[in-house]
Amino acid sequence: MKIEVLRIGQRLVRDDRVTTHVTLVSRAFGASKILMYDANPEIKDTISKVNKMWGSDFQVEIIENWKKVLKSKKDESYKIVHLTMYGENINAIENKLKSEDRILIVVGAEKVPREVYDIADYNVAIGNQPHSEISALAILLDRILGGKQLQKKHSNAQREIIPTKKGKRMMDKTITRGNSP
Ligand SMILES: C[S@@+](CC[C@H](N)C(=O)[O-])C[C@H]1O[C@@H](n2cnc3c(N)ncnc32)[C@H](O)[C@@H]1O
């Protein structure tokens, strides 16, 4: 399944940290790309450093017009999944989402315009209480991918963590031997 994320409504500087976290969650939890506008351009640099060290070719695309993106993704047969506390509860529609081929997840920051609710194929609530776009996105991706994404290894990573009960173990693949910091 191909999953991309569209971040809308963020305010430059004020929301920079949350936008970075939305991007890191998208990458670590199995999406292949995030699209955003009005973003601090440093985000591209940050993510390319993360990709280089920890692997994957996760992409950040800075866009001009999110409405056009929604329309063109629909034309490319993506299903639009809008995360909102007003939507249908994830427990009720998880299985339908799992059966889709291509998904564009829309996450908001400030109030999301009504037209997003209308264009969405699914308005999905991660519970019907207000919380955060970071947690909503993480839980949605985990429900859709069923935890498989948490075991993914990237062949182009420079570093790989060796899970351990205590301490920290890491393989530096550029020198192809294990070490403990
Ligand atoms: C801090 S909330 C602000 C929502 C805003 N007050 C509105 O009415 O659209 C930012 C984003 O977090 C996500 N979010 C927050 N709570 C959620 C929930 N219970 N289920 C799904 N998404 C949620 C939505 O994507 C929302 O646009």
* All structural domains of the chain with their residue ranges: 2-153
What is the CA(135)–ligand 1 centre distance, in A? 10
Q: What is the pLDDT of residue 179?
A: 53
Q: What is the pLDDT of residue 12?
A: 82
**Residue having the nearest C-alpha atom to atom 17 of ligand 1:** 85
Determine whether the shortest distance from the Cβ of 85 to ligand 1 is under 6 A: yes
User: What sign results for the dihedral spanned by CA atoms 89, 92, 93, 98?
Assistant: positive
State the closest ligand 1 atom to the C-alpha of 130, by its place in the atom list counted from 1: 16
What is the CA(133)–ligand 1 centre distance, in A? 6
Among 89, 131, 142, 143, which is best to mutate for testing ligand 1, by the most ligand atoms less than 8 A from CB?
131
Q: What is the CATH number of domain 2-153?
A: 3.40.1280.10
CA–CA distance, 120 with 118 (Å, rounded to integer): 6
Determine whether the shortest distance from the Cβ of 144 to ligand 1 is under 6 A: no
CA–CA distance, 178 with 66 (Å, rounded to integer): 45
What is the CA(132)–ligand 1 centre distance, in A? 6
- Residues 70-115 have pLDDT tens digits of 999 999 999 999 999 999 999 999 999 999 999 999 999 988 999 9
Determine whether the shortest distance from the Cβ of 140 to ligand 1 is under 6 A: no
User: 83 in helix, strand or coil?
Assistant: strand
Torsions phi, psi of 122, nearest 5? Answer: -140, 130
The token pair at 31 is 């999406």
Assess whether pLDDT exceeds 60 at residue 178. Answer: no
pTM comes to 0.94
Q: What is the pLDDT of residue 176?
A: 55
- Residues 159-172 have pLDDT tens digits of 999 999 999 999 99
- Residues 18-62 have pLDDT tens digits of 999 999 999 999 999 999 998 888 999 999 999 999 999 999 999
Amino acid identity, position 167: G
